[in-house]
A and B are shown apart, each in its own frame.
Chain A
Amino acid sequence: MTERVDARGLSCPQPLMLALEAMKKNVGPLTVIVDTESATESIERAVKREKRVYLIVRTGSVATFQIEGK
Protein backbone atom coordinates (compact mmCIF):
# COMPACT_ATOMS: atom_id res chain seq x y z
CA MET A 1 0.00 0.00 0.00
CA THR A 2 1.42 3.36 -1.05
CA GLU A 3 1.53 5.93 1.70
CA ARG A 4 0.06 9.26 0.71
CA VAL A 5 0.94 12.74 1.95
CA ASP A 6 -1.40 15.53 0.90
CA ALA A 7 0.40 18.83 1.52
CA ARG A 8 -1.80 20.98 -0.68
CA GLY A 9 -2.51 24.44 0.70
CA LEU A 10 0.10 24.25 3.45
CA SER A 11 2.60 27.05 3.83
CA CYS A 12 6.38 26.83 3.96
CA PRO A 13 8.05 24.74 5.37
CA GLN A 14 5.25 22.27 6.11
CA PRO A 15 5.06 20.47 2.72
CA LEU A 16 8.79 19.74 2.75
CA MET A 17 8.66 18.70 6.39
CA LEU A 18 5.78 16.25 5.84
CA ALA A 19 7.41 14.82 2.71
CA LEU A 20 10.73 14.29 4.48
CA GLU A 21 9.12 12.76 7.56
CA ALA A 22 7.23 10.31 5.37
CA MET A 23 10.37 9.44 3.40
CA LYS A 24 12.40 8.89 6.56
CA LYS A 25 9.93 6.53 8.20
CA ASN A 26 8.91 4.80 5.00
CA VAL A 27 11.02 2.55 2.83
CA GLY A 28 8.06 1.66 0.61
CA PRO A 29 6.49 3.69 -2.19
CA LEU A 30 5.13 7.10 -1.37
CA THR A 31 2.85 9.65 -2.99
CA VAL A 32 3.23 13.34 -2.12
CA ILE A 33 0.81 15.96 -3.44
CA VAL A 34 1.58 19.69 -3.40
CA ASP A 35 0.12 22.71 -5.14
CA THR A 36 2.85 25.35 -5.24
CA GLU A 37 5.98 25.50 -7.38
CA SER A 38 8.13 26.43 -4.38
CA ALA A 39 7.04 23.28 -2.52
CA THR A 40 7.56 21.19 -5.67
CA GLU A 41 11.09 22.50 -6.05
CA SER A 42 12.08 22.01 -2.42
CA ILE A 43 10.65 18.48 -2.31
CA GLU A 44 12.35 17.57 -5.59
CA ARG A 45 15.67 18.68 -4.11
CA ALA A 46 15.02 16.59 -1.00
CA VAL A 47 13.96 13.50 -2.95
CA LYS A 48 17.11 13.73 -5.06
CA ARG A 49 19.22 14.04 -1.94
CA GLU A 50 17.54 10.96 -0.46
CA LYS A 51 18.48 9.21 -3.73
CA ARG A 52 14.93 7.97 -4.31
CA VAL A 53 13.57 7.25 -7.76
CA TYR A 54 10.62 9.51 -8.48
CA LEU A 55 8.20 10.79 -11.04
CA ILE A 56 6.26 14.06 -10.98
CA VAL A 57 2.79 14.12 -12.49
CA ARG A 58 1.39 17.60 -13.03
CA THR A 59 -2.28 18.41 -13.34
CA GLY A 60 -2.87 22.14 -13.47
CA SER A 61 -1.19 23.64 -10.44
CA VAL A 62 -1.06 20.33 -8.58
CA ALA A 63 2.14 18.28 -8.63
CA THR A 64 2.01 14.65 -7.53
CA PHE A 65 5.30 12.98 -6.62
CA GLN A 66 5.34 9.23 -7.09
CA ILE A 67 8.35 8.11 -5.12
CA GLU A 68 9.51 4.51 -5.39
CA GLY A 69 10.46 2.42 -2.39
CA LYS A 70 14.09 2.04 -1.41
Chain B
Amino acid sequence: MSFFANWKGALLAGTAIGVGAVILQKLGNPGNMGLCVACFGRDVSGALGLHQAAAVQYARPEIFGLIIGAFIAAIFSGEFKPRIGANPLIKFFLGAFVGIGALIFLGCPWRAFLRLAGGDLNAIFGLLGLITGIAIGALFIKKGFSLGVSKSAGKTLGLVFVIFALAILVLRIAYPPLEGQPKNEFLFYSLTGPGSQRAPLLASLGIALVVGFLGQRSRFCSVGAVSNFILFRQSHLLIGILGFFGAAFVFNLILGQFHAGFANQPIAHTLSFWNFFGLLVVGLGSALAGGCPGRQLFLAGEGDGDAAIFSLGLLGGLAMAHNWSLASSAAGLGPHGAGAGIISLIIIGCIALAGRQKIAD
Protein backbone atom coordinates (compact mmCIF):
# COMPACT_ATOMS: atom_id res chain seq x y z
CA MET B 1 0.00 0.00 0.00
CA SER B 2 1.25 3.48 -0.73
CA PHE B 3 1.91 5.90 2.13
CA PHE B 4 -1.21 7.87 1.22
CA ALA B 5 -3.38 4.76 1.52
CA ASN B 6 -2.95 4.73 5.28
CA TRP B 7 -4.50 7.18 7.69
CA LYS B 8 -1.33 9.17 8.29
CA GLY B 9 -1.01 9.86 4.59
CA ALA B 10 -4.65 10.90 4.36
CA LEU B 11 -4.24 13.22 7.34
CA LEU B 12 -1.06 14.75 5.96
CA ALA B 13 -2.59 15.38 2.54
CA GLY B 14 -5.76 16.88 4.03
CA THR B 15 -3.74 19.10 6.34
CA ALA B 16 -1.55 20.35 3.50
CA ILE B 17 -4.60 21.13 1.37
CA GLY B 18 -6.18 23.08 4.24
CA VAL B 19 -3.00 25.08 4.88
CA GLY B 20 -2.63 25.78 1.17
CA ALA B 21 -6.19 27.11 0.94
CA VAL B 22 -5.78 29.44 3.90
CA ILE B 23 -2.46 30.76 2.60
CA LEU B 24 -4.14 31.58 -0.72
CA GLN B 25 -6.74 33.59 1.19
CA LYS B 26 -3.96 35.48 2.96
CA LEU B 27 -2.27 36.13 -0.38
CA GLY B 28 -5.33 37.71 -1.94
CA ASN B 29 -8.02 35.17 -2.82
CA PRO B 30 -11.52 36.10 -1.56
CA GLY B 31 -12.52 35.46 2.05
CA ASN B 32 -13.00 31.82 3.02
CA MET B 33 -12.39 31.04 -0.65
CA GLY B 34 -8.78 29.94 -0.80
CA LEU B 35 -9.78 26.98 -2.91
CA CYS B 36 -13.32 26.51 -4.21
CA VAL B 37 -14.04 24.44 -7.25
CA ALA B 38 -17.50 25.94 -7.79
CA CYS B 39 -16.51 29.58 -7.24
CA PHE B 40 -13.33 29.27 -9.27
CA GLY B 41 -15.07 27.27 -11.98
CA ARG B 42 -17.58 30.08 -12.16
CA ASP B 43 -14.74 32.61 -12.42
CA VAL B 44 -13.15 30.56 -15.21
CA SER B 45 -16.43 30.39 -17.13
CA GLY B 46 -16.66 34.18 -16.75
CA ALA B 47 -13.08 34.66 -17.93
CA LEU B 48 -13.97 32.72 -21.06
CA GLY B 49 -17.04 34.88 -21.58
CA LEU B 50 -19.55 32.09 -20.95
CA HIS B 51 -21.33 34.46 -18.58
CA GLN B 52 -21.23 38.24 -18.24
CA ALA B 53 -21.29 38.79 -14.47
CA ALA B 54 -18.45 41.32 -14.39
CA ALA B 55 -17.56 40.71 -10.73
CA VAL B 56 -16.72 37.03 -11.16
CA GLN B 57 -14.48 36.67 -14.18
CA TYR B 58 -10.96 35.33 -13.75
CA ALA B 59 -9.16 32.35 -15.25
CA ARG B 60 -8.18 31.02 -11.81
CA PRO B 61 -4.85 29.21 -12.09
CA GLU B 62 -5.97 27.05 -9.16
CA ILE B 63 -8.45 25.11 -11.29
CA PHE B 64 -5.83 24.23 -13.90
CA GLY B 65 -3.20 23.53 -11.25
CA LEU B 66 -5.50 21.00 -9.55
CA ILE B 67 -6.02 19.13 -12.82
CA ILE B 68 -2.38 19.24 -13.89
CA GLY B 69 -1.09 18.37 -10.40
CA ALA B 70 -3.32 15.29 -10.35
CA PHE B 71 -2.15 14.43 -13.86
CA ILE B 72 1.51 14.59 -12.77
CA ALA B 73 0.76 12.42 -9.72
CA ALA B 74 -1.05 9.91 -11.91
CA ILE B 75 1.81 9.74 -14.41
CA PHE B 76 4.38 9.22 -11.64
CA SER B 77 2.38 6.51 -9.91
CA GLY B 78 1.38 4.70 -13.08
CA GLU B 79 -2.26 5.57 -12.45
CA PHE B 80 -2.87 7.57 -15.60
CA LYS B 81 -5.56 5.37 -17.11
CA PRO B 82 -7.79 6.94 -19.73
CA ARG B 83 -11.31 5.56 -19.41
CA ILE B 84 -14.88 6.48 -20.23
CA GLY B 85 -18.23 5.18 -19.03
CA ALA B 86 -21.54 4.38 -20.59
CA ASN B 87 -23.41 7.55 -19.62
CA PRO B 88 -21.25 10.62 -20.12
CA LEU B 89 -24.23 12.87 -20.87
CA ILE B 90 -25.78 12.02 -17.52
CA LYS B 91 -22.49 13.00 -15.89
CA PHE B 92 -22.54 16.28 -17.81
CA PHE B 93 -25.95 17.24 -16.46
CA LEU B 94 -25.15 16.04 -12.95
CA GLY B 95 -22.19 18.43 -13.10
CA ALA B 96 -24.39 21.26 -14.34
CA PHE B 97 -27.01 20.86 -11.61
CA VAL B 98 -24.35 20.43 -8.94
CA GLY B 99 -23.00 23.79 -10.14
CA ILE B 100 -26.40 25.44 -9.77
CA GLY B 101 -26.81 23.99 -6.27
CA ALA B 102 -23.34 25.15 -5.26
CA LEU B 103 -24.10 28.74 -6.28
CA ILE B 104 -27.30 28.74 -4.23
CA PHE B 105 -25.14 28.00 -1.18
CA LEU B 106 -22.15 29.95 -2.56
CA GLY B 107 -19.45 27.34 -2.60
CA CYS B 108 -18.51 23.75 -3.26
CA PRO B 109 -18.18 21.30 -0.32
CA TRP B 110 -14.54 22.31 0.14
CA ARG B 111 -15.62 25.91 0.59
CA ALA B 112 -18.31 24.84 3.05
CA PHE B 113 -15.50 23.54 5.27
CA LEU B 114 -13.35 26.61 4.60
CA ARG B 115 -16.26 28.89 5.46
CA LEU B 116 -16.83 27.12 8.76
CA ALA B 117 -13.08 27.13 9.42
CA GLY B 118 -13.18 30.90 8.97
CA GLY B 119 -16.05 31.27 11.45
CA ASP B 120 -18.94 31.52 8.94
CA LEU B 121 -21.63 29.67 10.90
CA ASN B 122 -24.03 29.68 7.93
CA ALA B 123 -21.85 26.90 6.59
CA ILE B 124 -23.22 24.60 9.30
CA PHE B 125 -26.55 24.51 7.47
CA GLY B 126 -24.72 23.92 4.22
CA LEU B 127 -22.78 21.02 5.68
CA LEU B 128 -25.95 19.50 7.14
CA GLY B 129 -27.49 19.74 3.67
CA LEU B 130 -24.39 18.20 2.13
CA ILE B 131 -24.48 15.25 4.54
CA THR B 132 -28.22 14.79 3.93
CA GLY B 133 -27.73 14.83 0.16
CA ILE B 134 -24.86 12.36 0.33
CA ALA B 135 -26.87 10.09 2.65
CA ILE B 136 -29.75 10.03 0.15
CA GLY B 137 -27.29 9.33 -2.66
CA ALA B 138 -25.67 6.55 -0.65
CA LEU B 139 -29.09 4.99 -0.13
CA PHE B 140 -29.70 4.96 -3.89
CA ILE B 141 -26.26 3.42 -4.48
CA LYS B 142 -26.97 0.77 -1.86
CA LYS B 143 -30.24 0.01 -3.65
CA GLY B 144 -28.39 -0.55 -6.89
CA PHE B 145 -27.96 2.86 -8.51
CA SER B 146 -25.17 2.73 -11.05
CA LEU B 147 -24.16 4.75 -14.08
CA GLY B 148 -22.59 1.65 -15.54
CA VAL B 149 -19.15 0.36 -16.28
CA SER B 150 -16.21 2.45 -17.49
CA LYS B 151 -14.00 0.99 -20.17
CA SER B 152 -10.40 1.87 -20.83
CA ALA B 153 -9.83 4.27 -23.69
CA GLY B 154 -6.97 5.60 -25.77
CA LYS B 155 -4.37 8.01 -24.43
CA THR B 156 -5.91 10.88 -26.41
CA LEU B 157 -9.12 10.72 -24.41
CA GLY B 158 -7.22 11.02 -21.16
CA LEU B 159 -4.98 13.81 -22.39
CA VAL B 160 -7.51 16.04 -24.10
CA PHE B 161 -8.94 17.56 -20.92
CA VAL B 162 -5.50 18.05 -19.37
CA ILE B 163 -4.39 19.83 -22.55
CA PHE B 164 -7.56 21.96 -22.43
CA ALA B 165 -6.67 23.00 -18.87
CA LEU B 166 -3.08 23.66 -19.86
CA ALA B 167 -4.18 25.74 -22.85
CA ILE B 168 -6.30 28.11 -20.76
CA LEU B 169 -3.53 28.31 -18.18
CA VAL B 170 -1.13 29.31 -20.95
CA LEU B 171 -3.59 32.01 -22.03
CA ARG B 172 -3.74 33.25 -18.44
CA ILE B 173 0.07 33.42 -18.26
CA ALA B 174 0.62 34.87 -21.74
CA TYR B 175 -2.22 37.39 -21.50
CA PRO B 176 -2.21 38.83 -17.97
CA PRO B 177 -4.77 41.42 -16.86
CA LEU B 178 -4.34 44.89 -18.36
CA GLU B 179 -4.49 47.75 -15.88
CA GLY B 180 -8.07 49.05 -15.68
CA GLN B 181 -9.25 46.90 -18.61
CA PRO B 182 -12.05 44.33 -18.18
CA LYS B 183 -10.76 42.20 -21.04
CA ASN B 184 -7.59 41.58 -22.97
CA GLU B 185 -7.23 39.78 -26.28
CA PHE B 186 -8.81 36.59 -24.95
CA LEU B 187 -9.82 36.68 -21.30
CA PHE B 188 -12.15 38.70 -19.13
CA TYR B 189 -10.70 39.97 -15.85
CA SER B 190 -12.93 41.39 -13.10
CA LEU B 191 -11.98 44.90 -12.00
CA THR B 192 -14.07 44.72 -8.81
CA GLY B 193 -15.70 41.99 -6.74
CA PRO B 194 -14.49 38.46 -5.92
CA GLY B 195 -13.02 37.97 -9.40
CA SER B 196 -10.62 40.85 -8.77
CA GLN B 197 -9.38 39.34 -5.50
CA ARG B 198 -6.60 37.04 -6.52
CA ALA B 199 -3.44 35.59 -5.05
CA PRO B 200 -0.29 36.03 -7.19
CA LEU B 201 -0.20 33.75 -10.21
CA LEU B 202 2.77 31.68 -9.07
CA ALA B 203 1.36 31.13 -5.58
CA SER B 204 -2.04 30.11 -6.97
CA LEU B 205 -0.51 27.76 -9.47
CA GLY B 206 2.16 26.34 -7.18
CA ILE B 207 -0.18 25.57 -4.31
CA ALA B 208 -2.80 24.13 -6.64
CA LEU B 209 -0.23 21.84 -8.27
CA VAL B 210 0.76 20.49 -4.85
CA VAL B 211 -2.89 20.12 -3.84
CA GLY B 212 -3.67 18.34 -7.11
CA PHE B 213 -0.74 16.00 -6.56
CA LEU B 214 -1.67 15.20 -2.95
CA GLY B 215 -5.38 15.03 -3.77
CA GLN B 216 -4.81 12.42 -6.43
CA ARG B 217 -2.50 10.34 -4.25
CA SER B 218 -4.77 10.43 -1.18
CA ARG B 219 -8.15 10.20 -3.06
CA PHE B 220 -9.18 13.36 -1.15
CA CYS B 221 -12.96 13.64 -1.56
CA SER B 222 -15.47 15.42 0.63
CA VAL B 223 -18.38 13.38 -0.69
CA GLY B 224 -16.63 10.02 -0.51
CA ALA B 225 -15.55 10.87 3.04
CA VAL B 226 -19.17 11.08 4.16
CA SER B 227 -20.60 8.27 2.01
CA ASN B 228 -17.84 5.79 2.94
CA PHE B 229 -18.44 6.53 6.58
CA ILE B 230 -22.22 6.22 6.32
CA LEU B 231 -22.15 3.06 4.22
CA PHE B 232 -19.15 1.17 5.57
CA ARG B 233 -17.90 3.04 8.64
CA GLN B 234 -14.65 3.52 6.69
CA SER B 235 -13.03 6.67 7.98
CA HIS B 236 -10.02 6.91 5.69
CA LEU B 237 -11.29 9.78 3.52
CA LEU B 238 -12.98 11.41 6.50
CA ILE B 239 -9.58 11.71 8.19
CA GLY B 240 -8.36 13.65 5.16
CA ILE B 241 -11.31 16.02 5.34
CA LEU B 242 -10.93 16.49 9.09
CA GLY B 243 -7.25 17.29 8.54
CA PHE B 244 -8.28 19.81 5.89
CA PHE B 245 -10.84 21.48 8.14
CA GLY B 246 -8.64 21.39 11.25
CA ALA B 247 -5.62 22.85 9.47
CA ALA B 248 -7.72 25.61 7.88
CA PHE B 249 -9.26 26.44 11.27
CA VAL B 250 -5.92 26.61 13.09
CA PHE B 251 -4.20 28.61 10.35
CA ASN B 252 -7.13 31.04 10.16
CA LEU B 253 -6.71 31.62 13.90
CA ILE B 254 -2.98 32.13 13.52
CA LEU B 255 -3.38 34.52 10.58
CA GLY B 256 -6.24 36.45 12.20
CA GLN B 257 -8.72 35.29 9.54
CA PHE B 258 -11.24 33.73 11.95
CA HIS B 259 -14.40 35.75 12.65
CA ALA B 260 -17.28 33.75 14.10
CA GLY B 261 -20.86 34.72 13.32
CA PHE B 262 -23.70 34.56 10.84
CA ALA B 263 -23.92 38.12 9.52
CA ASN B 264 -21.46 39.90 7.23
CA GLN B 265 -19.45 36.82 6.33
CA PRO B 266 -17.46 37.06 3.12
CA ILE B 267 -19.42 36.04 0.00
CA ALA B 268 -22.20 34.38 1.96
CA HIS B 269 -25.88 34.89 2.78
CA THR B 270 -27.78 34.01 5.92
CA LEU B 271 -30.73 32.08 4.46
CA SER B 272 -30.35 28.87 6.46
CA PHE B 273 -32.87 26.82 4.49
CA TRP B 274 -31.29 27.67 1.14
CA ASN B 275 -27.78 27.09 2.46
CA PHE B 276 -29.00 23.63 3.47
CA PHE B 277 -30.88 23.07 0.23
CA GLY B 278 -28.07 24.22 -2.09
CA LEU B 279 -25.57 21.76 -0.69
CA LEU B 280 -28.20 19.02 -0.47
CA VAL B 281 -28.40 19.24 -4.27
CA VAL B 282 -24.60 19.21 -4.46
CA GLY B 283 -24.31 16.23 -2.09
CA LEU B 284 -26.87 14.11 -3.91
CA GLY B 285 -25.63 14.96 -7.39
CA SER B 286 -21.98 14.44 -6.49
CA ALA B 287 -22.65 11.16 -4.69
CA LEU B 288 -24.39 9.83 -7.80
CA ALA B 289 -21.49 11.05 -9.94
CA GLY B 290 -18.93 9.30 -7.72
CA GLY B 291 -17.17 12.28 -6.13
CA CYS B 292 -17.24 15.91 -5.09
CA PRO B 293 -16.39 18.60 -7.68
CA GLY B 294 -12.76 18.73 -6.51
CA ARG B 295 -12.38 14.97 -6.70
CA GLN B 296 -13.81 15.08 -10.24
CA LEU B 297 -10.94 17.39 -11.24
CA PHE B 298 -8.41 14.95 -9.77
CA LEU B 299 -10.07 12.03 -11.56
CA ALA B 300 -10.11 14.02 -14.81
CA GLY B 301 -6.36 14.50 -14.35
CA GLU B 302 -6.03 10.69 -14.09
CA GLY B 303 -7.69 10.39 -17.48
CA ASP B 304 -11.25 9.69 -16.34
CA GLY B 305 -13.36 10.98 -19.23
CA ASP B 306 -16.58 10.92 -17.20
CA ALA B 307 -15.04 13.14 -14.55
CA ALA B 308 -13.85 15.53 -17.26
CA ILE B 309 -17.36 15.68 -18.68
CA PHE B 310 -18.82 16.24 -15.21
CA SER B 311 -16.38 19.15 -14.84
CA LEU B 312 -17.40 20.62 -18.19
CA GLY B 313 -21.04 20.28 -17.16
CA LEU B 314 -20.17 22.04 -13.93
CA LEU B 315 -18.57 24.87 -15.92
CA GLY B 316 -21.72 25.16 -18.03
CA GLY B 317 -24.09 25.04 -15.06
CA LEU B 318 -22.08 27.69 -13.24
CA ALA B 319 -22.24 29.97 -16.28
CA MET B 320 -25.99 29.47 -16.67
CA ALA B 321 -26.46 30.16 -12.96
CA HIS B 322 -25.27 33.70 -13.68
CA ASN B 323 -26.85 34.09 -17.12
CA TRP B 324 -30.26 33.20 -15.68
CA SER B 325 -29.84 34.90 -12.28
CA LEU B 326 -29.96 31.65 -10.34
CA ALA B 327 -26.83 32.32 -8.28
CA SER B 328 -27.07 33.75 -4.79
CA SER B 329 -25.09 36.75 -3.58
CA ALA B 330 -24.41 38.35 -0.21
CA ALA B 331 -27.88 39.94 -0.57
CA GLY B 332 -29.59 36.53 -0.67
CA LEU B 333 -31.06 34.26 -3.33
CA GLY B 334 -30.90 35.12 -7.01
CA PRO B 335 -34.27 36.11 -8.56
CA HIS B 336 -34.70 32.60 -9.97
CA GLY B 337 -32.60 30.76 -7.42
CA ALA B 338 -35.41 29.03 -5.53
CA GLY B 339 -37.05 27.62 -8.65
CA ALA B 340 -33.73 26.53 -10.08
CA GLY B 341 -32.82 24.75 -6.85
CA ILE B 342 -36.09 22.83 -6.78
CA ILE B 343 -35.86 21.90 -10.46
CA SER B 344 -32.24 20.76 -9.97
CA LEU B 345 -33.27 18.50 -7.11
CA ILE B 346 -36.18 17.04 -9.10
CA ILE B 347 -33.99 16.28 -12.11
CA ILE B 348 -31.20 14.73 -10.04
CA GLY B 349 -33.89 12.73 -8.19
CA CYS B 350 -35.20 11.43 -11.53
CA ILE B 351 -31.68 10.42 -12.57
CA ALA B 352 -31.32 8.60 -9.23
CA LEU B 353 -34.61 6.74 -9.74
CA ALA B 354 -33.88 5.90 -13.38
CA GLY B 355 -30.40 4.66 -12.48
CA ARG B 356 -31.90 2.04 -10.24
CA GLN B 357 -33.53 0.51 -13.30
CA LYS B 358 -30.09 0.43 -14.87
CA ILE B 359 -29.76 3.10 -17.49
CA ALA B 360 -26.43 1.39 -17.66
CA ASP B 361 -27.39 -1.72 -19.59
Binding site for B on A (CB under 8 A): 8-14, 16-17, 20, 35-38, 41-42, 44-46, 61
Contacts and interface: CB of A to CB of B under 8 A. Distances in A.
State the main secondary structure of chain A at its contact with B.
Answer: helix
Interface in B143-164: 146-152
B231 A9 contact: no
A14 B137 CA distance: 12
Interface stretch (B29-37, B77-85, B186-194): B77-85
A46 to B, nearest CB: 7
B150 A46 contact: no
Contacts of A9: 83, 85, 148-151
A8 B149 CA distance: 7
A42 B1 contact: no
26 contacts: A8-B149, A9-B83, A9-B85, A10-B149, A10-B150, A11-B290, A11-B291, A11-B306, A12-B221, A12-B224, A12-B291, A13-B141, A13-B290, A14-B141, A16-B234, A17-B142, A35-B81, A36-B79, A36-B81, A37-B79, A38-B219, A41-B2, A42-B234, A44-B1, A45-B234, A61-B152
Nearest to A41: B5
A46 B234 contact: yes
Contacts of B149: 8-10
A13 B219 contact: no
Contacts of B146: 10, 14
